Chains A and B, each alone.
Chain A
Amino acid sequence: MNDVLIIGSGLGGLECGALLAQKGLRTLVLEGSHQPGGCMQSFRRGGLHYDTGLHYVGGLAPGQTMHKAFGQLGLLDLPWERMDEAFDRVIIAGRRFAFHQGYQAFVDGLAKDFPHQREALQSYVWRLQHVTEEDMEVNAYDYLSKTFSDEMLLNVVSAAAMKTELKRESLPLFNFAHTCSGYIESSWRLRGDGNLLVNKLIDTIRKAGGEVRTDSRVVRLTETDGHISKAVCADGSTYEAGYFISDIHPAVLCQMLEDCPSVRKAFRRRMASAENTTGMFTAQLSIKPGALRYLAHNVFVYDKPNVWTMTEENDPVKGVMVSARVPEDGSDMLRQIDLLTPMPWQECKEWEDTKVGHRGEDYKAFCKQKTEQCLTLAEQYIPGLRDMVEHCYTSTPLTYRDYLGSPEGGAFGMRKDCRAPMLSFHSVSTPLPNLLLTGQSIILPGIEGVTMTAFETCSRIINGLGIKD
Chain B
Amino acid sequence: MTREEIIAEINAELAEEFEIDEAAITPDAPIYQTLELDSLSLVDLIGIVQTKYGVLISKAELPTIKTFAQLYDYIEQHQK
Interchain CB contact (< 8 A) of A423 among B18, B39, B41, B47: B47
From A264, A427, A430, residue with most partner B Cβ within 10 Å: A264
A431 touches B41 (CB 8 A): yes
Within 8 A of A (CB), among B12-32: 16-19
Interchain CB contact (< 8 A) of A270 among B19, B44, B56: B44
Give the Cβ gap from B43 to chain A, nearest Cβ, in Å. 6
Contacts A420-B50, A427-B40, A431-B40; is A264 near B56 (CB within 8 Å)?
A: no
B47 cross-chain contacts in A, Cβ below 8 A: 266, 269-270, 273, 423
B40 touches A422 (CB 8 A): no
Contacts A420-B50, A420-B56; is A269 near B17 (CB within 8 Å)?
A: yes
Task: Return the CB mask of A160-189 against B: 1 if under 8 Å, else 0.
Answer: 000000000000000000000000000000
B44 cross-chain contacts in A, Cβ below 8 A: 264, 266-267, 269-270
- Does chain B have a CB within 8 A of A354? no
Q: What would be 8 A-B contacts, judged by CB atoms less than 8 Å apart? A: A265-B18, A265-B19, A266-B44, A266-B47, A266-B48, A269-B48, A270-B47, A427-B39
A423 touches B40 (CB 8 A): no
A430 cross-chain contacts in B, Cβ below 8 A: 40
Within 8 A of B (CB), among A230-287: 264-267, 269-270, 273
Give the Cβ gap from B64 to chain A, nearest Cβ, in Å. 16
Within 8 A of B (CB), among A396-443: 419-420, 422-423, 427, 429-431
Task: Return the CB mask of A328-365 against B: 1 if under 8 Å, else 0.
Answer: 00000000000000000000000000000000000000
B45 cross-chain contacts in A, Cβ below 8 A: 266
Complex CA–CA separation, A430 to B48 (angstroms): 17
A419 cross-chain contacts in B, Cβ below 8 A: 56
B40 cross-chain contacts in A, Cβ below 8 A: 267, 427, 429-431
The closest CB in chain A to the CB of B44 belongs to: A266
Complex CA–CA separation, A264 to B48 (angstroms): 13
A273 cross-chain contacts in B, Cβ below 8 A: 47, 51
Complex CA–CA separation, A180 to B43 (angstroms): 29
The closest CB in chain B to the CB of A261 belongs to: B19
A265 touches B17 (CB 8 A): yes
The closest CB in chain A to the CB of B37 belongs to: A266
B59 cross-chain contacts in A, Cβ below 8 A: 422
B16 touches A423 (CB 8 A): no
B19 touches A422 (CB 8 A): no
Q: A269-B17, A270-B43, A270-B44 are in contact. List 14 more A-B contacts (CB 8 A).
A: A264-B19, A266-B18, A266-B41, A266-B48, A269-B44, A269-B47, A270-B48, A273-B47, A273-B51, A422-B46, A423-B43, A427-B40, A429-B40, A431-B41
The closest CB in chain A to the CB of B43 belongs to: A422
Complex CA–CA separation, A427 to B39 (angstroms): 10
Complex CA–CA separation, A453 to B44 (angstroms): 21
Complex CA–CA separation, A422 to B46 (angstroms): 8
A422 cross-chain contacts in B, Cβ below 8 A: 43, 46, 59
Chain B interface category by residue count: 10 to 19
Task: Return the CB mask of B53-69 against A: 1 if under 8 Å, else 0.
Answer: 00010010000000000
Complex CA–CA separation, A1 to B56 (angstroms): 44
Complex CA–CA separation, A421 to B17 (angstroms): 22
The closest CB in chain B to the CB of A430 belongs to: B40
Give the Cβ gap from A287 to chain B, nearest Cβ, in Å. 48
A427 cross-chain contacts in B, Cβ below 8 A: 39-40, 43
Complex CA–CA separation, A273 to B50 (angstroms): 12
B56 cross-chain contacts in A, Cβ below 8 A: 419-420, 423
Complex CA–CA separation, A266 to B42 (angstroms): 10
Complex CA–CA separation, A44 to B39 (angstroms): 46
Complex CA–CA separation, A110 to B40 (angstroms): 44
Complex CA–CA separation, A419 to B59 (angstroms): 11
B39 cross-chain contacts in A, Cβ below 8 A: 427
The closest CB in chain A to the CB of B47 belongs to: A270
B41 cross-chain contacts in A, Cβ below 8 A: 264, 266-267, 431
B46 cross-chain contacts in A, Cβ below 8 A: 422-423
Give 8 nearest A-B pairs by CB, closest first.
A266-B44, A266-B17, A270-B47, A265-B17, A264-B19, A270-B44, A267-B44, A423-B47
The closest CB in chain A to the CB of B16 belongs to: A265
Complex CA–CA separation, A264 to B50 (angstroms): 18
B50 cross-chain contacts in A, Cβ below 8 A: 420, 423
Complex CA–CA separation, A89 to B65 (angstroms): 51
B48 cross-chain contacts in A, Cβ below 8 A: 266, 269-270
The closest CB in chain A to the CB of B19 belongs to: A264
From A265, A270, A273, A419, residue with most partner B Cβ within 10 Å: A270
Complex CA–CA separation, A429 to B39 (angstroms): 10
Complex CA–CA separation, A287 to B69 (angstroms): 67
A270 cross-chain contacts in B, Cβ below 8 A: 43-44, 47-48
Give the Cβ gap from A223 to chain B, nearest Cβ, in Å. 14
A429 cross-chain contacts in B, Cβ below 8 A: 40
B17 touches A264 (CB 8 A): yes
